[in-house]
Amino acid sequence: MADSRTRVTIFTGTYRIRGYIDLLPGARITDFMAEARDFIAVTEAEVWELIPGGRMVLAAPFIDVSRAHIEIITPAG
């Protein structure tokens, strides 16, 4: 069975978040966001200050991120 986890980087107005979303193989992040409700689940999350040289403010196995605060979401390498 293919891994459904996709590593992403999410930018909000204040933070850069790295982690994984549960995305079906072959699906696009655009489709995922279009179907998402008010929050998206991010696993193995790291939350960093957005400022240059910013520090990590949180590491957690799971966080919910508000769709309303997401400015950019992109696949991470």
pLDDT tens column, 30-58: 888 888 899 999 999 999 999 999 999 99
Tokens for 41, please give them: 């689940």
CATH fold of the domain at 5-75: SH3 type barrels. (2.30.30)
Residues 54-70 pLDDT 10s: 999 999 999 999 999 99
Answering whether pTM is above 0.85, one says: yes
Q: How far is the C-alpha of 11 from the C-alpha of 51, rounded, in Å? A: 12
Q: How far is CA 23 from CA 2, 17, 33, 65, in A?
A: 11, 17, 10, 15
Domain ranges of the chain: 5-75
